[in-house]
Every structure is written in structure tokens, then in C-alpha cells.
Amino acid sequence: MAERKVRVRFAPSPTGPLHIGGVRTALYNYLFARQHGGDFVFRIEDTDSHRFVPGAEEYIIESFKWLGLEFDEGVSFGGNYGPYRQSERRDIYKKYVDVLLDNGKAYIAFDTPEELEKKRAEIPNFQYDASSRMSMNNSLSLPAEEVKRRIEAGEKYVVRFKIEPGEDVHVNDLIRGDVVINSTILDDKVLYKSADGLPTYHLANIVDDHLMEISHVIRGEEWLPSAPLHVLLYRAFGWEDTMPQFAHLPLLLKPEGNGKLSKRDGDRLGFPVFPLEWHDPKSGEISSGYRESGYLPEAVINFLALLGWNPGNDQEIMSLEELVRLFDLHKCSKAGAKFDFEKCKWFNHQYIQKKDDRELAEQIMPAMKDEGVDTSLDLLAKVVGLMKSRVSFVRELPDLCRFFFMAPTEYDEKTRKKRWKEESPRQMSELLDVIKGIDDFSIENQEKTVMDWIEAKGYNTGVIMNAFRLAIVGEGKGPQMFEITDVIGKDETIARLQRAIDVLK
Ligand code: GLU
């Protein structure tokens, strides 16, 4: 068989905000498509009208825009295989339902919800399958004329897939290998409902993957139980030669304990499970998002990429381009991946270090202005460069950077007690004179001059520098002292020293 063009799809149902696990699924599809020069398709699976949530589709599109994962075709992107919204493909599905009915692979069933309920109550573990279908109301058990009469009378019906029992169904999964399920445990799944003229997920999914020439189905583990049914459907249509390769990704697990990651874990431990903030249109509830919580998209991508896969060495920081190069679908793990959100913070910290100082400065400039700081972008960028190694979120920067632009109005009591010694006022007065005498105020020259003075006087460097820091910063924190004075300048250094001597005595 000729090598197929790689075409993968991300096919969410617009039933609410996109879960972070869905983002991981989309990312793996994206990486796989890009590394094979393939296509990445965006399909909306909205055949279940009861679960439709307004705004969800737009939310999903915006999420990927923010994350920088680009689709080649699909809803809102166009392409040659459209329409890409399943609710707009009714006629297509109807045609394929008829194909299955005509070749005896499916049948029509009239059982009402009440009748089904009654059966379930009567028979423990009732399943609509080869063992029970002849005792139900369907086109296999009823005379042909009656079936015809009922349909013509407008009676509602569903179309069920006729599963032949006693057969081992093999799902060849790129991650899990040969998964075998006996068809006897499968029920005659509903493929279509006359009530709304829409197919169910299973039929629409298979027909679309076929028509859209999808080569690989990469999706979450929760879909593995459906895969045998899907294999049987491909066969029923005679499409086994172009059946996509399956790859079911490992589950995302709770950060602690066992089980699947849920929104409640996020609420309890304080991390988002959605890419963007979500405003529930019904309840009005607001759920936090990675974007609004201050995560950089690159950090989120890098973090998610490693939940279920790794490059086989200890490299952790990888750009999207590197991930495209290194990712290997065959090396994904079968075991669930613990959602260690502290690690996500760590990635955010790492990516802030890679960010351009000016870009970060631009981002925090409004917050600085709000606090009354009036400075140039250049200077703020320089300060950001000194302080960014201390933060995991950009929003932490303004608070840390403020002291460069605003002299301390008070001095931290604990630091004062520890660092401001009896001899400090005298020593700081001397230092004031030393600094007044420095013409070349470069970091190197300041440092040399001050250190020479300390040495000549036989002072303790720690004692001097600690008092100096308290005077300039107002507390015991901050980067190297001469980096600070370099930014605030000679006049401001002198003024702050003078004030500390006056106030602290
Ligand atoms: N519509 C399904 C979902 O919401 C798609 C599953 C699949 O990829 O086959 O995830």
C-alpha cells in the first residue's frame, strides 16, 4: 500500500471549556502532523444537541490561538474536506446509515425509552445485542410490512449496529500494541436517531475520519473502549484498507493520590484545568485559565508535552520546534501521567528567563505607572533583567521592581535590628563621602572604590554592605548592591543614604 499522507484531527465536542487533557491531545496531534509534513484538521463534533454549550467552539479556537497551535483546515479555517462541523453534515451521515441498512450491517429499532427501561429492570445486566435483539421491536424481529408501516406512520426509531458475537476484535494501537476485545461484550450501538435526523458520535466520527482521509487517530485513553466498535464499523463499510492507525494517549492523573485529573483537583489545590478563563453561560460560574493566571503559552506547551512522553534523556526545556523534531508517538507511555502543576510553575519561571527584558518591561509598565512609577522602558527593562530570576509569574515583577524607582519610606524593622549596628551611622556617613567622590559611576568602578575604602579602614564587608542595603532598599533583599546603585544613579544613592542616616540614626 502506498504511503499515506499524514492527516490527523482534533475533534472536540463543544460541550464546555476545553479541558487541559484535551489540549495535550491536540498538542500531540499537532507535533505528529508537523514532523511528518502532514495536515492538522479541526473538526467540531456537535451531533449531541442536548450537550451543546454556546461559546464553547469560539473558546476552543481562541485557546489554540493563544497557545500558538495552528490548524491547517477545519471549522473557521476552511479546507477541501468541509463542512467540518458535524451538525452541517446530516445528509452525508444519512447516506452512510442507509448503506449499512442496505447491506444488513445495521437495523431499525423502535423500542421506546420506557420499553428499554422495563427490560433493564426485568433482566439484570440487560444488553441490546445478539442474545436479546430478537425479543425486541426491530426490523429483525418484526415483519417487513410492519416496519414499513411504522416508519410511514412517523414512529420514531433508531438505527443500531448489528454486532456479530464471538469474534476477537483487534485494535492495533501504536502505543498499546494489539488490544483484543471479544465482540460478545459489545452492544448493538445506536448509530442514528430519526428523532433529530442526526447520527451518534460513533457513526459520525468514523464516516468523517474516512471522508476526511484521516491517517492517524490520536486521542485520549477514555476513547479506547470505543475503538473495537470503530474497527467493526470500518469493516462494515469495507474501509479497512484506509482505516486510520490508532494511538490512545495515557490518562492525566491527579497530582496526588490515584485517579483521573478533575476540575475539583484544580479547585482544591489551586491550579487551572482550562487553558483560558471560562464563564459558564448557564451557571455564571467562572473557572480560572492558564492564560489569565499568568502562564506563558510556551511554558504550558512544554509542560504538557512531557505528560506522557519524554525525549529519552533529561532534557526538559524544549521549544515547539524542538518538540516537533523530538516527539515520538511510539514512545508515549501507556501508564497515566501525574499532573504535577508545581512543575508547570517551574516551566513558567524558566520561560520568563528566556523572555526579552523589554517585552516583559512593556507588560508591567502599566502596573508600574499605576503605582506612581515614572520611568523609561529602557531602565525598566534593565531592572527586569536584574529581577526576573526571582519570579515564576510576570505579575510578581512590579512589586519586586518598585524599590528601584521609589526610595524607601520606611525601613523593615527586623532587618534594622539585625543589620543597622551602632557604628552604622558613622560608617554610612563615611560611605556617603566615598560615593560623592566617585566620578565614574560604573558598576566596576563603584565596587572597586568602595571595596578599597572598606579594606583601607579594616571594616567588615558584610556589616557595611548590609547597612548599605537597608539604606538603599529599605529591607534586606535585592540583587547585588552596585547593580542597584547603577540603576538608581549617584544622586539617588546619595539621597537615600543621607535619609537613612537621618532617620535610623
Ligand atoms: N468528540 C470526541 C471528543 O470530544 C472525539 C473523540 C475522538 O477523537 O475520536 O473528544
End-to-end CA distance of the chain: 88
Tell me how far the alpha carbon of residue 220 lies from the centroid of ligand 1, in angstroms: 8
Band of pLDDT at residue 258, cut at 50, 70 and 90: confident
Choice from 25, 44, 45, 210 to test ligand 1 binding pocket (greatest atom count within 8 A of CB): 45
Beta bridge mates, 91: none
pTM above 0.85, yes or no: yes
- Cell numbers of 223, please? 476513547
13 CB under 6 A from ligand 1? yes
- Candidates 355, 352, 399; CA nearest to 373 is 399
Answer yes or no: is the C-beta of 205 below 6 A from any ligand 1 atom.
yes
What's the CA-to-centroid distance between 226 and ligand 1, angstroms?
10
| Model confidence band, residue 49 (pLDDT cutoffs 50, 70, 90) | confident
In angstroms, the Cα distances linking 151 to 139, 401, 441, 503 are 11, 74, 93, 94
Retrieve residue 240's grid coordinates.
Answer: 479497512
Cell numbers standing for residue 318: 524544549
Q: What is the DSSP string of 12-33?
A: ---SSSPPHHHHHHHHHHHHHH
Q: Which atom of ligand 1 is nearest to the CA of 226?
A: 9
Active site residue 263: yes
Half-sphere exposure of 268 (CA within 13 A, CB side): 8
Report the alpha-carbon distance of residue 224 to residue 217 in Å, rounded: 11
Residue 13 Cα: closest atom of ligand 1: 4
Q: Are 254 and 339 in contact (CB under 8 A)?
A: yes
Ligand 1 centroid vs 77 CA: distance in angstroms? 19
Q: Cα(207) to centroid of ligand 1, in Å?
A: 13
Cβ of residue 12 lying under 6 Å from some atom of ligand 1: yes
Residue tagged active-site, from 94, 119, 260, 263: 263
Q: How far is the CA of 10 from the centre of ligand 1 (A)?
A: 7
The ligand 1 atom at the shortest distance from the C-alpha of residue 25 is: 8
Whether the predicted pLDDT of 463 surpasses 90: yes
For the segment 337-341, the average pLDDT, to the nearest whole number, is 95
pLDDT in tens, 119-176: 999 999 999 999 999 999 999 999 999 999 999 999 999 999 999 999 999 999 999 9
Which pLDDT does position 375 carry in this prediction? 95
Please name which of 227, 220, 223 lies closest in space to residue 308, comparing C-alpha atoms: 220
Q: Is 45 in the pocket of ligand 1 (CB under 6 A)?
A: yes
pLDDT tens-digit readout, 180-213: 999 999 999 999 999 999 999 999 999 999 999 9
pLDDT at 2: 61
Shortest-distance atom of ligand 1 to CA 218: 8
Return the residue whose CA atom lies nearest to atom 6 of ligand 1: 11
Span 63-68, average pLDDT: 98
Distance of alpha carbon 453 from alpha carbon 457, whole angstroms:
6
Average pLDDT, the chain: 96
Q: How much is the average pLDDT of 45-67? A: 94
How far apart are the CA of 12 and the centre of ligand 1, in A?
5
Contact 380, 365 (CB under 8 A): yes
Spatial CB neighbours of 150, under 8 Å, sequence gap ≥ 6: 110, 142, 157
Strands 216-220 and 245-249, sheet pairing: parallel
Report residue 179's pLDDT band, with 50, 70 and 90 as the boundaries. very high
Phi first, then psi: give them for residue 74, nearest 5 degrees: 135, -170
In angstroms, the CA 189 to CA 163 distance is 8
Segment 97-108, tens digit of pLDDT: 999 999 999 999
Mind listing the pLDDT tens digit for each residue in 360-399?
999 999 999 999 999 999 999 999 999 999 999 999 999 9
The distance from CA 342 to its chain's CA centroid, rounded to whole angstroms, is 14
Determine the average pLDDT of the residues in 421-433.
97
Question: What pLDDT does 51 receive?
Answer: 87
Q: Is the CB of 219 under 6 A from ligand 1?
A: yes
Overall average pLDDT of the 420-447 stretch: 97
In the chain, the percentage of residues whose pLDDT exceeds 90 is: 97
pLDDT value, residue 257: 79
Q: What residues are paired with 40 via a beta bridge?
A: 8
Q: Is the CB of 11 under 6 A from ligand 1?
A: yes
Beta-bridge mates of residue 73: 41
The three-point CA angle 276-385-390 to 5° equals: 65
Q: Give me Rg for the CA atoms of the chain.
A: 33
* Residue 17 binned pLDDT confidence (cut-offs 50, 70, 90): very high
Confidence of residue 1 (pLDDT cuts 50, 70, 90): low
